[in-house]
C-alpha cells in the first residue's frame, strides 16, 4: 500500500508526492518520534544510493550538497585564463581567491526529477556568484558583510542548476554556498519526503553514501568533513550526516569500512559513532564490500595482503575484518551495540565455508549474502533467449528463480548456524540487468525495465520476501532505495523520489509493516 499523498500546494513537494511525515515541520526540523524495530526475527533494511548531482532522490534540502565533483577529484570545473593554475582551496573546498578571468563551476540536480519553484541562494564572503541553466539567470554580487540571500526561480530540466563563482576576494573569499529548496530554510537538513519514504526500513546500509567500492582513502584526514562544499566528494558523505539521518529516523546504520583505512581511521570512526549515534541504535560494521568481487579494487588489495601475510584470500579478509571488529569492541566497551558482519557470495558457497572456518569463535555476529533473483536472465549464456520473452514470461522466470535462491539461503543458513552466526542479506531483490554487450541491446534493456515496472513484480517481491522470512527470518537489506532505470539495471525500489504506484517499493512497505509489527 503506497504512502498517503499530499495536496498539490505542499511546499517543495510536487503534486502527487507523499505528504511530509508526522513530527517534521516546514521550515525547520523537529525530531521524529520513533521506536526501534523489534529485536530478533525478520527486519527490512535498504541500501542508499550514491549522493550525486544526477541521482533522482532528494536527501538534502540544500541541493548544493549534491553538486558535481570532476572525475579528476578536483571539486570544481575550472575556467582558467591561459597559463593559470587551478585555484588553491580552503578546507571546505572553496577557492581562496580567483585570478582575473578565472571562474569555477558546479552543477546540481541534473537529472530533472526534482521540485521546481523559488529556491534561496545564500553564501558568505566578498565576491560574485552566477546561477543559470534550470535556474533563472542570476548575478549575485556581495560585499562580504553578513550573508548574501536571494530568491531564485528554478524550472527543472535535465540540464540541472549551474552555480559559478566568477569573483572571489582572497581576503574574504566566497564560501558556504547554500541553495535551499522551496518551502524550507537552512535549519532543515533532510527533505521530509526522503525521510518519509525511508521510514518503513529498520536498517540503512551506507555502502554507496560512503563510496566504499574502489575507495582510495586510508587516513582519517582524507574523509569528507560535514562542512565540505559538496557531499558528492570522492571520499563519500560525511559520517556525521549518516549519524544524523539514523538518529532522526531511528534506523540502525550499516557502515562499510574502506578497505585501505588504517587502524587510526577505524578507531576515530568507532569513536564518532559511539559518541554521536543514539545509544538505542546498533551499528552493523563490515570490512569493505564484496572483497571477493574482482571488479573492485578492494579485491586486489586483499589478495596482495594475503600474499604478503602468507594467508589464503579469505583468511586475509577474515583476519582484517576481525581486527576492525576488535577496535570497535574496545572503543564501544563491548559488543552490545555492534553487529559484526562477515560476508560471503550467495551463489558461491565456498566463500562462506572458508570464512566460517577462518573465523575465531565469537569474533562475529552475522554472515551476510546477497540472494538476488533473476540475474541469470541477462548473462552471456541466456540474454539472447531472454530478449525474445514477453514481460509475463520474464516475470514467470523470476518467480521460478526464487526456488533456486531458497536453496542458496538454506545452504548458507546451515553454515551460519554451525558457527553461531545469524544469516542476513546485505543486498537483494531483482537482478534484471544485461551483462557485457547485452547491456547495449535496446530490446533486452526495455524488456527488463518493463518487467521491473509491471504490477506483477509486486507479487514476485512478496513471494521472495516471504521465502526469506520463512528460511532465514532475519535482516534483509534491499538494493537499492532510489535509482533511475538504466541499461545497467533498475536497482531502485523507486525510480525517483516522488514516484507513486511503484511495485517493488509497495511490496517492501507491506513486508515492513508485517515484519516490524506496525
Return the pLDDT at 138. 96
Q: Which residues contact 377 (CB under 8 A, 6 or more apart)?
A: 383, 386, 394, 397, 398, 432, 448
Identify the domain boundary among 309, 343, 377.
343
Nearest to 434 by CA among 389, 393, 377: 377
Mean per-residue pLDDT of the chain: 92
Whether 60 is in a domain gets the answer: no
Indicate the burial class of 65 (C-beta count within 10 angstroms; 0-12, 13-18, 19 or more): buried
* pLDDT per position as a tens digit, 196-242: 999 999 999 999 999 999 999 999 999 999 999 999 988 999 999 99
Three-state DSSP at 459 gives helix
Instruction: Say if residue 148 is in the same domain as residue 98.
Output: yes
Q: Is a pLDDT exceeding 60 seen at residue 382? A: yes
Return the pLDDT at 73. 73
Q: Which residues contact 39 (CB under 8 A, 6 or more apart)?
A: none
Whether 10 is in a domain gets the answer: no
Rounded to an integer, what is the distance from CA 209 to the centroid of its chain?
4
In a 13 Å sphere around the CA of 441, the CA atoms on its Cβ side amount to 19
Identify the domain boundary among 114, 145, 180.
180
Return the pLDDT at 152. 98
Whether 355 is in a domain gets the answer: no
Continuous segment of H or E residues that includes residue 147: strand 138-154
Return the pLDDT at 426. 98
- Residues 130/158, Cβ–Cβ less than 8 Å: no
Return the pLDDT at 8. 27
- Residue 271: domain span: 202-343
Q: What is the DSSP string of 158-211?
A: TT-EEEEEEEE-TTS--EEEEEEPTT--TT--B-HHHHHHHTT-SEEE-TTTTT
Mean pLDDT of 265-287: 98
Instruction: Say if residue 112 is in the same domain as residue 166.
Output: yes
Whether the model pTM is above 0.85: yes
* pLDDT per position as a tens digit, 311-343: 999 999 999 999 999 999 999 999 999 999 999
Instruction: Say if residue 169 is in the same domain as residue 232.
Output: no
Return the pLDDT at 17. 34
Instruction: Say if residue 72 is in the same domain as residue 113.
Output: yes
Cα 228 to Cα 106: distance, rounded to the nearest angstrom: 14
Q: Who has greater pLDDT, 191 or 84?
A: 191
Cα 104 to Cα 484: distance, rounded to the nearest angstrom: 29
Whether 52 is in a domain gets the answer: no
Cα 482 to Cα 497: distance, rounded to the nearest angstrom: 7
Identify the domain boundary among 343, 372, 388.
343
Three-state DSSP at 22 gives coil
Whether 512 is in a domain gets the answer: yes
Return the pLDDT at 318. 98
Instruction: Say if residue 379 is in the same domain as residue 510.
Output: yes
Grid look-up 507513486 returns 500
pLDDT classification of 31: cutoffs 50, 70, 90: very low
Q: Is a pLDDT exceeding 90 seen at residue 25? A: no
pLDDT classification of 84: cutoffs 50, 70, 90: confident
Return the pLDDT at 83. 81
Instruction: Say if residue 368 is in the same domain as residue 512.
Output: yes
* pLDDT per position as a tens digit, 161-189: 999 999 999 999 999 999 999 999 999 99
Using left for φ > 0, alpha for ψ between -120 and 50, and beta otherwise, residue 395 falls in alpha
**Which residues on adjacent β-strands are paired with residue 168?**
127
Return the pLDDT at 118. 98
Cα 123 to Cα 357: distance, rounded to the nearest angstrom: 56
Q: Is a pLDDT exceeding 80 seen at residue 9? A: no
Least confident residue range of 35-39, 97-101, 422-426: 35-39
Which string of b and e fits 452-463 if b means at least 16 CB within 10 Å?
A: bbbebbbebbbe
Instruction: Say if residue 383 is in the same domain as residue 503.
Output: yes
Return the CATH number at 120: 2.60.120
Instruction: Say if residue 380 is in the same domain as residue 518.
Output: yes
- Phi/psi of residue 349, nearest 5 degrees: -65, -20
- Phi/psi of residue 265, nearest 5 degrees: -60, -50
* Bond before 480 cis per omega within 30 degrees: yes
CA angle 89, 94, 99 (to 5 degrees): 70
* pLDDT per position as a tens digit, 243-259: 999 999 999 999 999 99
Q: Is a pLDDT exceeding 70 seen at residue 26? A: no
Continuous segment of H or E residues that includes residue 306: helix 297-309
Whether 59 is in a domain gets the answer: no
Mean pLDDT of 381-406: 97
| Cell numbers that stand for 198 in this block | 525511508
Return the pLDDT at 69. 79
Instruction: Say if residue 265 is in the same domain as residue 334.
Output: yes
Return the pLDDT at 4. 32
Mean pLDDT of 43-47: 98
Return the pLDDT at 80. 87
Return the pLDDT at 39. 67
Encode 454-497 in three state secondary structure. Answer: CCHHHHHHHHHHHHHHHHCCCEEEECCCECCCECCECCCCECCC
| Cell numbers that stand for 230 in this block | 559538496
Q: Is a pLDDT exceeding 70 seen at residue 457? A: yes
Return the pLDDT at 490. 98
Whether 292 is in a domain gets the answer: yes
Three-state DSSP at 373 gives strand
Q: Who has greater pLDDT, 276 or 37?
A: 276
Whether 493 is in a domain gets the answer: yes
Mean pLDDT of 289-305: 97
Return the pLDDT at 272. 98
Return the pLDDT at 13. 36
Instruction: Say if residue 368 is in the same domain as residue 325.
Output: no
Q: Who has greater pLDDT, 37 or 120?
A: 120
- Give the single-character DSSP code of 439: G
Question: How many domains are there within the chain?
Answer: 3
Using left for φ > 0, alpha for ψ between -120 and 50, and beta otherwise, residue 310 falls in left
Instruction: Say if residue 114 is in the same domain as residue 225.
Output: no
Instruction: Say if residue 417 is in the same domain as residue 466.
Output: yes
Mean pLDDT of 298-315: 98
Amino acid at each position: 500500500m503506497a504512502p498517503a499523498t499530499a495536496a498539490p500546494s505542499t511546499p517543495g513537494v510536487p503534486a502527487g508526492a507523499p505528504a511530509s511525515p508526522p513530527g517534521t515541520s516546514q521550515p525547520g526540523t523537529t525530531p521524529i518520534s520513533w521506536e526501534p524495530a523489534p529485536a530478533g526475527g525478520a527486519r527490512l533494511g535498504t541500501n542508499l544510493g550514491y549522493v550525486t548531482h544526477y541521482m533522482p532522490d532528494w536527501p538534502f534540502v540544500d541541493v548544493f550538497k549534491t553538486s558535481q565533483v570532476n572525475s579528476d577529484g578536483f571539486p570544481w570545473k575550472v575556467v582558467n585564463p591561459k597559463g593559470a593554475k587551478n585555484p588553491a582551496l580552503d578546507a571546505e573546498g572553496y577557492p581562496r581567491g580567483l585570478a582575473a578571468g578565472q571562474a569555477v563551476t558546479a552543477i546540481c540536480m541534473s537529472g530533472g526529477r526534482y521540485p521546481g519553484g523559488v529556491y534561496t541562494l545564500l553564501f558568505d564572503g566578498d565576491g560574485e556568484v552566477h546561477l543559470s541553466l534550470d535556474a533563472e539567470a542570476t548575478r549575485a554580487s556581495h560585499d562580504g558583510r553578513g550573508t548574501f540571500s536571494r530568491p531564485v526561480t528554478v524550472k527543472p530540466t535535465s540540464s540541472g542548476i549551474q552555480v559559478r563563482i566568477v569573483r572571489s576576494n582572497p581576503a574574504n573569499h566566497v564560501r558556504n554556498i547554500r541553495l535551499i529548496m522551496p518551502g524550507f530554510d537552512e535549519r532543515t537538513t533532510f527533505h521530509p519526503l526522503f525521510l518519509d519514504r525511508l521510514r518503513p526500513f529498520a536498517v540503512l546500509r551506507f555502502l554507496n553514501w560512503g563510496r566504499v567500492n574502489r575507495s582510495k582513502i586510508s587516513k582519517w584526514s582524507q574523509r569528507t568533513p560535514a562542512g565540505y562544499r559538496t557531499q558528492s566528494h570522492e571520499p563519500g558523505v560525511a559520517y556525521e550526516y549518516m549519524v544524523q539521518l539514523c538518529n532522526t529516523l531511528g534506523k540502525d546504520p550499516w557502515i562499510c569500512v574502506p578497505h585501505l583505512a588504517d587502524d587510526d581511521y577505524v578507531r576515530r570512526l568507532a569513536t564518532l559513532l559511539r559518541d554521536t549515534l543514539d545509544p538505542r541504535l546498533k551499528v552493523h560494521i563490515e570490512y569493505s564490500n564484496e572483497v571477493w568481487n574482482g571488479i573492485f579494487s578492494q579485491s586486489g588489495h586483499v589478495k596482495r595482503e594475503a600474499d604478503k601475510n602468507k594467508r589464503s584470500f579469505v583468511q586475509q579478509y577474515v583476519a582484517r575484518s576481525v581486527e576492525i571488529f576488535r577496535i570497535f569492541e574496545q572503543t564501544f566497551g563491548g559488543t552490545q551495540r555492534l553487529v559484526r558482519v562477515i560476508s560471503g557470495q550467495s551463489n558461491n558457497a565456498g566463500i562462506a565455508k572458508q570464512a566460517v572456518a577462518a573465523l575465531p569463535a565469537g569474533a562475529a555476529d552475522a554472515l551476510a549474502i546477497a540472494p538476488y533473483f533473476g540475474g541469470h536472465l541477462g548473462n552471456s549464456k541466456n540474454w539472447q533467449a531472454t530478449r525474445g520473452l514477453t514481460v509475463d514470461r520474464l516475470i514467470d522466470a523470476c518467480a521460478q528463480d526464487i526456488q533456486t535462491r531458497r536453496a542458496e539461503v538454506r545452504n548458507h543458513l546451515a553454515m551460519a548456524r554451525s558457527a553461531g552466526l545469524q544469516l542476513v542479506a546485505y543486498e537483494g531483490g531483482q537482478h534484471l540487468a544485461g551483462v557485457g554487450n547485452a547491456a547495449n541491446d535496446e530490446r533486452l534493456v526495455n524488456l527488463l525495465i518493463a518487467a521491473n515496472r509491471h504490477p506483477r513484480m509486486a507479487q514476485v517481491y512478496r513471494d521472495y520476501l516471504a521465502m526469506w522470512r520463512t528460511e532465514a527470518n532475519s535482516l534483509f537489506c534491499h538494493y537499492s532505495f532510489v535509482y533511475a532505470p538504466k541499461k545497467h539495471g533498475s536497482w531502485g525500489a523507486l525510480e525517483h523520489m516522488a514516484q507513486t504506484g511503484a511495485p517493488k517499493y509497495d511490496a517492501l512497505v507491506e513486508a515492513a509493516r508485517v515484519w516490524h509489527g506496525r
